[in-house]
Amino acid sequence: MATNIAVLGAQWGDEGKGKIVDLLTPHFSAVARYQGGHNAGHTVYVNGTKFVLHLIPSGILHPGVTCIIGNGVVIDPQALFKEVDELARMGVDVDGRLLVSEKAHVILPYHRELDVLSEARRGERKIGTTSRGIGPAYEDKIGRRGIRICDVLGDRAALAEDVRENVHARNQIIKDSTLDWKPVFDQLVVYAERLRGWVGDVSLFLATAIRQDRRVMFEGAQATLLDIDHGTYPFVTSSNASIGGVCTGLGVPPRAIGGVLGVAKAYTTRVGEGPLPTELSDSLADRLRETGQEYGASTGRPRRCGWYDAVVVRYSARINGIDALALTKLDVLDGLPEVKICTGYRTANGDITEFPADLRTLDGAQPIYDTLPGWDTPTKGVTRYDALPRAAQRYIRRLEEASGVECGIVSTGSDRSETIVKPSSAVERWFAER
Ligand code: GDP
């Protein structure tokens, strides 16, 4: 059987998954997104043209590849239409290549407003969400009052009933609110017509593709440390970004996943609130932020920056069963006199080397670092592992040891061409398959 690969974030997101997915796509017949919403933002450069994708897998930039949005994703139809129109403007036609799960839940117009209110209510303890209504849409899904794509396309009277109930629940949450259900319903009816041509049974499509030996890539959004169950709760996203999300968010069995590629930056970043043990606050943080252009693709928010945290990546490797890492943005470290890898945390209760569940353990925790010499010769644009400066190779080796997983891919720039596939790695074997 051809190896189907899951590509997911091993840190707090923005690892450069878009570039890696885009790079691997020619080896696959379909790319399937399994969770999250349009808060995710993949930036891909193709021959100097910038594409920013939020909902549609970046596989769409490759003709002939089917792009799938699974049931685990929550969909704001307006955001989806906007993305489709934007792609059309850039010469990319999605018709016949986009498949949206009939079981995916819809983000309703007022979910956004609920998001803002919920953050305001949390005050100091705010999560730092993108306020796009994604959390409240997942809340409605779990609260069993959500509206799915198949409901939007189905019987009008049943849809009217569902919308009435959902709006009623919403009016009870927001004090003195009397939102009318009818305009919400009318808008969904309009959306239905445009959505219809893209909607289908994703699980069935994938099962058929896999049986016919057509390779599928499972694409994660956000990342493991933002996973609702395994991330730094409550500073997390509302879905399972880690490997379990592939099965629940697409309706595929675990055995369909033949390999797991974890994407990690050569340093660490995080957008929004929550713990970040290796966070830097000095000029070095500014240096990483500017060189790495660490500003959110969706919101433009500056990202918090720190050294590579092997405790975090080792934890991710365990949760996801990562076979190989794609190490991105190595070039951002070019020219630094020394580079550091965090291998443990010094806490009030002693040193720890496993990522803790209780965030209070991380309060005041001091990273324990291995310090290595930096490199003067740039890695930027290098395409062969043995052409990397010795010190960069040593950094990668130490990072692999500390993370307990090999780097199959090293990315040395944002362009597709600026990539190293490590000889005789799991990734090279996956690449050899077509
Ligand atoms: P994603 O959500 O994980 O895809 O990450 P983002 O798209 O938000 O951020 C990744 C950014 O880093 C994009 O602007 C990429 O073009 C860029 N990028 C990816 N790999 C590299 C790399 O190896 N070097 C540099 N300098 N930039 C990279």
Q: From 259, 291, 310, give the residue that closes a domain.
A: 259
- Are 89 and 214 part of one and the same domain? yes
Q: Kindly report the CATH number assigned to the domain that includes residue 280.
A: 3.90.170.10
pLDDT tens for each residue of 325-380? 999 999 999 999 999 999 999 999 899 999 999 999 988 899 999 999 999 999 99
Q: From 171, 195, 219, give the residue that closes a domain.
A: 195
CB–CB of 149/102 below 8 Å?
yes
Residue located nearest, by CA, to atom 18 of ligand 1? 414
Residue located nearest, by CA, to atom 14 of ligand 1? 43
Indicate the number of domains in the chain.
Answer: 3
Q: Kindly report the CATH number assigned to the domain that includes residue 171.
A: 1.10.300.10
- Are 307 and 419 part of one and the same domain? yes
Q: According to the model, what pLDDT value does residue 130 have? A: 66
- Are 46 and 137 part of one and the same domain? no
Q: According to the model, what pLDDT value does residue 177 have? A: 73
Phi–psi pair at 207, nearest 5 degrees: -60, -40
Ligand 1 atom at minimal distance to the Cα of residue 297: 8
- Are 283 and 399 part of one and the same domain? yes
Task: State in Å: Cα 370 to ligand 1 middle.
Answer: 25
Task: State in Å: Cα 19 to ligand 1 middle.
Answer: 6
Q: Kindly report the CATH number assigned to the domain that includes residue 254.
A: 3.40.440.10
- Are 271 and 401 part of one and the same domain? yes
- Are 428 and 303 part of one and the same domain? yes
Task: State in Å: Cα 366 to ligand 1 middle.
Answer: 28
- Are 317 and 370 part of one and the same domain? yes
- Are 92 and 136 part of one and the same domain? no
Task: Judge whether 42 counts as a catalytic residue.
Answer: yes
pLDDT tens for each residue of 6-62? 999 999 999 999 889 988 999 999 999 999 998 887 777 777 788 888 999 988 989
- Are 208 and 190 part of one and the same domain? no
323 CB under 6 A from ligand 1?
Answer: no
Residue 164's CB: how many other CB atoms inside 10 A?
Answer: 15
Task: State in Å: Cα 342 to ligand 1 middle.
Answer: 22
Q: From 223, 244, 259, give the residue that closes a domain.
A: 259
Ligand 1 atom at minimal distance to the Cα of residue 58: 4
Catalytic pick among 14, 140, 309, 370: 14
Task: State in Å: Cα 207 to ligand 1 middle.
Answer: 32
17 CB under 6 A from ligand 1?
Answer: yes
Looking from the CA of 247 toward its CB, the CA atoms found within 13 Å total: 9
Q: According to the model, what pLDDT value does residue 232 have? A: 96
Catalytic pick among 38, 42, 54, 105: 42
Residue located nearest, by CA, to atom 6 of ligand 1? 14
* Alpha carbon 45 to its chain's center: 17
pLDDT under 50: residue ranges of the chain? none
- Mutate which of 56, 329, 332, 417 for ligand 1 pocket (most atoms within 8 A of beta carbon): 329
Ligand 1 atom at minimal distance to the Cα of residue 411: 23
Structural tokens at position 155:
């019987």
Q: According to the model, what pLDDT value does residue 346 have? A: 97
In single-letter form, the type of residue at position 159 comes to: L
Is the pTM here over 0.75, yes or no? yes
Ligand 1 atom at minimal distance to the Cα of residue 332: 26
Task: State in Å: Cα 390 to ligand 1 middle.
Answer: 24
| Rounded CA separation 141/139 (Å) | 5
- Are 225 and 358 part of one and the same domain? no
- Are 243 and 313 part of one and the same domain? no
Q: Where are the beta strands (DSSP E) in 236-296?
A: 259-265, 268-270
Its domain, for residue 290, covers 264-432
| Rounded CA separation 35/346 (Å) | 34
Measuring CA to CA, which residue among 30, 406, 417, 15 is closest to residue 214? 30
Q: According to the model, what pLDDT value does residue 148 have? A: 97
Structural tokens at position 320:
């996801």
- Are 220 and 347 part of one and the same domain? no
Q: According to the model, what pLDDT value does residue 122 have? A: 67
Task: Judge whether 105 counts as a catalytic residue.
Answer: no
Q: According to the model, what pLDDT value does residue 124 have? A: 66
